[in-house]
Structure 1
């Protein structure tokens, strides 16, 4: 009660003071009188000053002394602002001589000026080098961008935050040269990710993911994109060497958001998006389907010799499958769309809530999210619920303790119908009978109704738990600190399913349980020392990782009924159980020295030693060194080029490793059927060695040289990075064939050499910077070429390194080489067609001219690797509107970025019954220029047609509006932003089919990439 009374007194006094102050100010304004102010600390009377006086001046560029238009002049801690005009001049009404003016403009440092008695304030702004002062994550620490000597790039996330997507990896497409991120066509899916091409043949090809300093082996679908603050990419060997044996494929460093000192912020964002295919590709409807059957029987549907004139005696019903005719033998009148039945308009619903803030002793961020992605195909479902807590406290002046943690709960319940089967179902057949029940076999064959998947009871959950506890201790020696990281990943996967139509319609149910746990324990000792203009930073690391996985599955078949589904497996006639487990450990040590003189001459040296339980007895450990240098030329006294703001040259060389999978160096044992005692006797199982051990199996090693040039010109109006790299991977992990007399067919060993070379360009320009309008552009370009240099050596003894054509590997060629028959049109009616071929089949080029088409006529037709990648981001700002437009492209040519795209029809029982995609340009006697083969019989050889996959994609467009001023103040908000956005809105390509980037052409088993439209808002209280 006393507290309530005291609170009322305080509120009353505050309210009374407010009324007096308002009256005082109002009286002063009304009468234009002067007021004396008393300094509270000294008691002295300040000189009288009129309120609402005007301050004017001019804003110039410090280097060029030219006026800067569009500079924002703001009175600190108020909403009063003004802008400089085309002559750099400004005027602003000031309420108080104690006010402070804040001058800000893109590309320049923010400056503050106290007013005092001045009425004219001119100012010269300095070009901002904020991008060089930006701190980037480099692995086991951070560095100012200006001091980085390796190839480290930060992804632009801010311009893509509004994109309708559920996976953080999708926001990285095209944002960093050398970082290659593919497309997705399933709800919640993670795209393929690679950095600077393929560095291995049989080793691990995955990029290493580091989340908040801890290796992360979970799916990126578990990470809430809104929780991510920054993503940094380590690309060259000198940068990745700090991660040693696991870094040959590059490293992605993900840093989550933290709380900041200041007022508590409550942020809410919500977004709703729709998804639909970006191509209008559907199966044939009734008329086209029947026409398709007729052309498969062109030799009877049309008259010889040209087969272009219709045969009046041809009865199509005689050739249609019996299941598609009525009792009188007439074709059923149905025109059912299985495609429409099995698909829908996809949606994404995303809601985010976070609370953050803190003091100088404690900062915190708490967030929660709910994301739902119902995909285009029915039962393609992804739901994610997540919670995050990031807390850091400065317990004492020498101890900081923190926690970075999240829990993510993913729901992927439901079994979608097989899309390939959906596309192959005849429009003459129906999925339901007259009573609305599913027809099990619409064709009266063993092909089952794809919609039977709807009957499954499916429980598919993945629960992810992550926690990194860390502490930093400032040791008594100045500049020396110790940090300990203890990171934990725990994952539970539950897959329970039952369906009465599985197991050849006898019913099946199963329960699967997978648990995974790993910990990372890192000890870091860091020492910083500055001596005059010499700066040293030493980092010493000792760490260990342990990973454990356990899997169990119990299942049964042959159910008389499945009332209790997967919760009553004992009712099945046949019951089975499977289980397995694995464990692996790593330990490592690393030392890194960073040195710079006057931030002009830079040096980084690293050496790391790794041990892995999965490697052979004789090679448990590997050592991975690197060195890199930087020279900031623009800081040299002799370099006096006025329009160059920054120019830094850097070079690095290092070694990174690639480890094999666990147990691969050991002789593996399997349980197989071993003996049968007598005719009709029971089978006895026994253990059998199925692979040879290799005690000398070594790490793959990737040695890489990287050269980079960073520059900023014309007062930060134009900046960029040019990089060249050359890497050589040796001791390639590869399964080598061995004589069968050994009892085995191959053994994993180290062979050969694979080289990668490439160039990467990144340019940023500020095209227009005016009072109300700004336009900036970011352009990225990358090209990578790899080459097989060595394989198994000279096996034939002719002094020439031998190829492995059966594996598609050729000395001097790329790993993506296409080795096949070359086509040259289609055989036409009336031509002299060789035996084994017929009209409608591909002609094959006789490469050696011996008159016989066989395996010797195969040749290298090109490569599946792209020629180059290119992206361009344009950002337009007009007042409070912001428009971003992002174009992404992969280009090839006649011999690169090729893929097989060969729909083919050969008359047989299945091709007559099955449906196919609509609008395909098949050959026919009356369509001799048809692109794709269609024939009565199968040819001796049916080669593929390889097509170029080049495309330009309008990948992301976003338009947002930020509310400012009194509207925000009345709502008591810190920020309010509304937006609309689109993704994959248009794709320009000659590729035919689902999508060039997913390498899915005119095939029933492809899936579309989605075109998305979304609307949303971001609110901060």
Structure 2
């Protein structure tokens, strides 16, 4: 699948086209400004209320066809300027849009009618949009209010806890938002392959990460979950799809928006590490010194203790600091009759809570749409980004086990690379201050389309989508002769340059017609996509001096180069048919065929069909009498097949690797097999069934949906052991099976809608059960990988800690090789010894129940938003129960016979055998107050005198409280000896004019 010169031609055409559109939009800005200055109009005042006469705050009032507008204050009052003959529009969630022509009146009071058809909003479903009432698949949408009002610096913050079935875990903390976030839609389906969802940005598959996207640019974000919704993306969609649409321009005078926030960060939770005195007492208080090889204080530690200098520092204070972040976002939006534009620029800078942890991101976006003819539309959505997260972070592993009786600095104030003189192997946790570290990334993406409404068939249109993405990343580091690499290595350095490139070309035909009670929407697609990644690495050792840092890597005495490259192609066809009769009976059929170059030679193409049915029960005549009570009731059901490519490039081919051999007594270069080719290797496939119910009660004051699903994934990509006679010990095959079952519930409620006070709520929760059905076809578990039939994919498998051996257990403990005060484990098979058969399943580190709750309150011009979420059903290994962590705690002693923590002895939990140190597993369930935001919107009358349309100030707190029994760093983080979670206090403003 090679396409030769075609992508290069498209690149030239595309960039020339973008430049023309930018030039045209700038001219239009000037024209629009001049037009609006001539037609400033008259000042109009008024009040907006509902049918009951209660005034409505927050109603959007705009001059139609322009960006001029305002919102009503807490008493429903508004002030706006409009020329005579203009049309004013009044819009508010839950109410029908109203338009009033401006004549000679200067006061216009408006009454809005309740909208009982809130499900008529448009939902992005991939390759088009549908009315929500016509959607048959399981699609979750992030609310417009959350998109507009939530204080955030990253897309992940925006979606965490916001949708049922989407589990967003913050697995690592720090300034860099991409450092640790795992997104799972309806759980894990694959055992060894990726479970990441597919991201579609402005209609084109996005190969970057979510944190690269400026969250302020997002207009809509939808999550496709079931087979009917995801099947249009074929062999990549079994893990779900996230659809993101960015903001487009609107006709009228240029509207300028500026958003700013500044935050202060500190540590949310950190354990009390031993100080010098506590460490001295800890060493002196060893219970069994004869058995403890680590009991003695070293001479250098004793010297520091006797001098009293240990009181001058703590490792925690040397590494942790107060962090801060700031974000600026500036956008200009507007347009004329035929061309609209939206241009944005943003900057995010974060100084993390640990030394050398920093992150800077600059984004620019230009979106332009031109209606060249009534039947021809051109559009472009282009983004450029720069990220810099240079800086070597400290070693947190060393922070937790480093003696406080150390010397962190030399007499001249420089970092001491041997803080414990008699143990030079233990590095200084702040040695990272001596490293040179560069991490920068540049990215460009441009999506462009041409849409033609074909005149010869009514309802028939053609759309050409093109997308190009390019990313260049450099990661260079140098650890010189003044660091721990100063010995025989004489310094070490590495330079790493990676380049990613991809393009997508899609031809889409659509036919959309309403014929009486029949609604038809047909879509056909032909798509081609190519990805290319290359990575060049140089590792150097042995430097004469540190002057040139990593720039002098070519002067190293030993240089080891390496190079990685892959290229893949995807050729696809898709057909989708949507049919609705009388807005009651709905039908969707989708089939996609994908050909992927990474599949085996005998299995290049896969077909992925789905079917879905829907019934708008509330539109039946027999329910017409309860329309106000039961405004929406829709039953949905879907079944289909989707895939997970799961295969690395060239994985299906036989490969060789370098392997020297001895020719007599002389080593000679040669090659040995590394991978055995598998011509039949293909995609993992998921057969998914979903049944759902959408509901709306009391004129849609309460809306929501319930989904019950079952996903069965076959042909898992697993390594199977084979005879070494083939030259390799294992081969990849499509052999395993898993199953996911779950329930999802989402409820939105307008609890109180008074003139001066409103209260809205959103709650979502989901329960999921995942099991491994089969691994290698022999009905056996894979204990080495902790994979067990009938259990979750990720489980804890270990000896179970059941307390501490007490003095009355001395005789029994001795049979197990233990002493009083040692950790006690369950003898599962009761054979009188601890052996591998005593290991057992101890829960899972992943939750089976997740939920999120958002409450929004408004009183006059004040707003308060409270967002909390939680996860249940998790058990994790708590490393803080390990004695190697120098955390102040109460140990077992004959006088303090507790069962929580064993005696102060290095052998107390290591006596089961060489290299065996069982973990203690604790409950990691939690409830977190993730975000509380208080805001104030200034009254329109006050703003109009300053020429502003909107001014909103806010104060927000993040990660304020966590309710949990977890006893380590944080229940959500994977690593408990890493950068801790930060608590953040943010203030900022939003203004537009």
Bucket of the pairwise TM-score, normalised by the shorter protein:
0.7 to 0.9
Equivalent residue, structure 1, for 2:133: 146
Equivalent residue, structure 2, for 1:453: 432
**SS in structure 1 opposite 2:622?**
coil
**Quick one: distance in 1 between partners of 2:439 and 2:658?**
29
Q: State which drifts further: 969-978 or 212-221.
A: 212-221
**Quick one: distance in 2 between partners of 1:651 and 1:992?**
44
Tell me if 1:1011 matches 2:983. Answer: yes
Tell me if 1:283 matches 2:268. Answer: no
- 2:219 paired residue among 229, 232, 247: 229
**SS in structure 1 opposite 2:659?**
strand
- 2:176 paired residue among 188, 196, 204: 188
- 1:865 paired residue among 834, 846, 856: 846
- From the superposition, tell whether residues 201 and 333 of structure 1 become closer, same or farther in structure 2 (CA, over 3 Å): closer
- From the superposition, tell whether residues 852 and 721 of structure 1 become closer, same or farther in structure 2 (CA, over 3 Å): same
**SS in structure 2 opposite 1:244?**
helix
**Quick one: distance in 2 between partners of 1:169 and 1:121?**
43
- 1:737 paired residue among 721, 730, 738: 721
Q: How far apart are residue 325 of structure 1 and its match?
A: 3.0
**SS in structure 1 opposite 2:670?**
strand
- From the superposition, tell whether residues 636 and 466 of structure 1 become closer, same or farther in structure 2 (CA, over 3 Å): same
What are the residue-to-residue correspondences of 1:522-533 with 2, within 5 Å?
Answer: 522-533=506-517
Q: How far apart are residue 864 of structure 1 and its match?
A: 2.9
**Quick one: distance in 1 between partners of 2:350 and 2:992?**
25
Equivalent residue, structure 1, for 2:588: 604
**SS in structure 2 opposite 1:638?**
helix
Offset from partner CA, 1:291-326 (integer Å, 9 cap, x none) = 221222565999xxxxxxxxxxxxx99932122233
Equivalent residue, structure 2, for 1:134: 121
**SS in structure 1 opposite 2:944?**
helix
- From the superposition, tell whether residues 299 and 118 of structure 1 become closer, same or farther in structure 2 (CA, over 3 Å): closer
Q: Pairwise CA RMSD of aligned residues?
A: 3.5
Equivalent residue, structure 2, for 1:641: 626
- From the superposition, tell whether residues 59 and 100 of structure 1 become closer, same or farther in structure 2 (CA, over 3 Å): farther
Offset from partner CA, 1:580-609 (integer Å, 9 cap, x none) = 211111110000011111221111110000
Q: How far apart are residue 703 of structure 1 and its match?
A: 0.5
**SS in structure 1 opposite 2:162?**
coil
**Quick one: distance in 2 between partners of 1:57 and 1:809?**
62
- From the superposition, tell whether residues 771 and 761 of structure 1 become closer, same or farther in structure 2 (CA, over 3 Å): same
Equivalent residue, structure 2, for 1:995: 970
Q: How far apart are residue 557 of structure 1 and its match?
A: 1.4
- 2:391 paired residue among 414, 436, 442: 414
Alpha carbons 2:936, 2:953 under 8 Å: kept: yes
Larger Rg: 1
Equivalent residue, structure 2, for 1:483: 463
- From the superposition, tell whether residues 481 and 435 of structure 1 become closer, same or farther in structure 2 (CA, over 3 Å): same
Alpha carbons 1:719, 1:764 under 8 Å: kept: yes
**Quick one: distance in 2 between partners of 1:684 and 1:320?**
51
Q: How far apart are residue 722 of structure 1 and its match?
A: 0.6
- From the superposition, tell whether residues 849 and 234 of structure 1 become closer, same or farther in structure 2 (CA, over 3 Å): same
Q: How far apart are residue 550 of structure 1 and its match?
A: 1.3
Tell me if 1:324 matches 2:324. Answer: no
Equivalent residue, structure 1, for 2:543: 559
- From the superposition, tell whether residues 592 and 101 of structure 1 become closer, same or farther in structure 2 (CA, over 3 Å): closer
**Quick one: distance in 2 between partners of 1:372 and 1:150?**
39
Equivalent residue, structure 1, for 2:787: 809
**Quick one: distance in 1 between partners of 2:295 and 2:572?**
73
**Quick one: distance in 1 between partners of 2:992 and 2:520?**
41
| TM-score normalised according to structure 2 size | 0.88
**Quick one: distance in 2 between partners of 1:469 and 1:295?**
70
Q: How far apart are residue 814 of structure 1 and its match?
A: 2.2
What are the residue-to-residue correspondences of 1:815-894 with 2, within 5 Å?
Answer: 815-831=793-809, 832=811, 833=813, 834-892=815-873
- 1:494 paired residue among 450, 474, 479: 474
- 2:955 paired residue among 976, 980, 983: 980
**Quick one: distance in 2 between partners of 1:157 and 1:997?**
28
- From the superposition, tell whether residues 245 and 163 of structure 1 become closer, same or farther in structure 2 (CA, over 3 Å): same
**Quick one: distance in 2 between partners of 1:82 and 1:851?**
76
What are the residue-to-residue correspondences of 1:900-911 with 2, within 5 Å?
Answer: 900-904=877-881
What are the residue-to-residue correspondences of 1:14-33 with 2, within 5 Å?
Answer: none
Alpha carbons 1:488, 1:519 under 8 Å: kept: yes
**Quick one: distance in 2 between partners of 1:462 and 1:351?**
20
Offset from partner CA, 1:225-245 (integer Å, 9 cap, x none) = 111111110011111000000
Q: How far apart are residue 815 of structure 1 and its match?
A: 1.9
Equivalent residue, structure 1, for 2:238: 248
**Quick one: distance in 1 between partners of 2:469 and 2:870?**
36
Note the residue ranges of structure 1 that are not aligned, 5 or more in a row: 1-10, 26-50, 61-66, 303-315, 795-800
Q: How far apart are residue 498 of structure 1 and its match?
A: 2.0
Alpha carbons 2:573, 2:594 under 8 Å: kept: yes
- From the superposition, tell whether residues 930 and 348 of structure 1 become closer, same or farther in structure 2 (CA, over 3 Å): farther
- From the superposition, tell whether residues 633 and 491 of structure 1 become closer, same or farther in structure 2 (CA, over 3 Å): same
- From the superposition, tell whether residues 575 and 104 of structure 1 become closer, same or farther in structure 2 (CA, over 3 Å): closer
Alpha carbons 1:336, 1:428 under 8 Å: kept: no
Q: How far apart are residue 638 of structure 1 and its match?
A: 1.4
Alpha carbons 2:247, 2:342 under 8 Å: kept: yes
**Quick one: distance in 1 between partners of 2:888 and 2:60?**
62
**Quick one: distance in 1 between partners of 2:776 and 2:673?**
26
What are the residue-to-residue correspondences of 1:511-526 with 2, within 5 Å?
Answer: 511-526=495-510
Tell me if 1:464 matches 2:443. Answer: yes
- 1:474 paired residue among 439, 442, 453: 453
**Quick one: distance in 2 between partners of 1:462 and 1:273?**
24
**Quick one: distance in 2 between partners of 1:74 and 1:875?**
18
**Quick one: distance in 2 between partners of 1:58 and 1:889?**
38
**Quick one: distance in 1 between partners of 2:926 and 2:147?**
21
Equivalent residue, structure 2, for 1:37: none
Alpha carbons 1:57, 1:120 under 8 Å: kept: no
Alpha carbons 2:417, 2:484 under 8 Å: kept: no
Offset from partner CA, 1:883-926 (integer Å, 9 cap, x none) = 1001101112xxxx1111144556xxxx5xxxx34333443333
**Quick one: distance in 1 between partners of 2:121 and 2:298?**
69
Q: How far apart are residue 452 of structure 1 and its match?
A: 2.5
**Quick one: distance in 2 between partners of 1:986 and 1:876?**
20
Equivalent residue, structure 2, for 1:791: 775
Tell me if 1:274 matches 2:264. Answer: yes
**Quick one: distance in 2 between partners of 1:582 and 1:120?**
67
- From the superposition, tell whether residues 675 and 142 of structure 1 become closer, same or farther in structure 2 (CA, over 3 Å): farther
- From the superposition, tell whether residues 590 and 428 of structure 1 become closer, same or farther in structure 2 (CA, over 3 Å): same
- From the superposition, tell whether residues 83 and 196 of structure 1 become closer, same or farther in structure 2 (CA, over 3 Å): closer
Q: How far apart are residue 859 of structure 1 and its match?
A: 2.6
Alpha carbons 2:72, 2:940 under 8 Å: kept: no
**Quick one: distance in 1 between partners of 2:820 and 2:663?**
53
**Quick one: distance in 2 between partners of 1:697 and 1:318?**
55
Alpha carbons 1:614, 1:664 under 8 Å: kept: yes
Note the residue ranges of structure 2 that are not aligned, 5 or more in a row: 1-33, 64-68
Alpha carbons 1:99, 1:115 under 8 Å: kept: yes
**Quick one: distance in 2 between partners of 1:519 and 1:725?**
34
What are the residue-to-residue correspondences of 1:416-815 with 2, within 5 Å?
Answer: 416-444=393-421, 445-476=424-455, 477-500=457-480, 501=483, 503-505=485-487, 506-639=490-623, 640-642=625-627, 643-659=629-645, 660-675=647-662, 677-678=664-665, 681=666, 683-794=667-778, 801-815=779-793
Q: How far apart are residue 282 of structure 1 and its match?
A: 4.0
**SS in structure 1 opposite 2:431?**
helix
**SS in structure 1 opposite 2:384?**
strand
- From the superposition, tell whether residues 57 and 441 of structure 1 become closer, same or farther in structure 2 (CA, over 3 Å): closer
**Quick one: distance in 1 between partners of 2:349 and 2:60?**
42
Equivalent residue, structure 2, for 1:919: 888
Equivalent residue, structure 2, for 1:343: 320
- From the superposition, tell whether residues 104 and 933 of structure 1 become closer, same or farther in structure 2 (CA, over 3 Å): same
**Quick one: distance in 1 between partners of 2:295 and 2:920?**
33
| TM-score normalised according to structure 1 size | 0.85
- How many equivalent residue pairs? 930
Equivalent residue, structure 2, for 1:395: 372
**Quick one: distance in 1 between partners of 2:61 and 2:339?**
30
Q: How far apart are residue 976 of structure 1 and its match?
A: 0.9
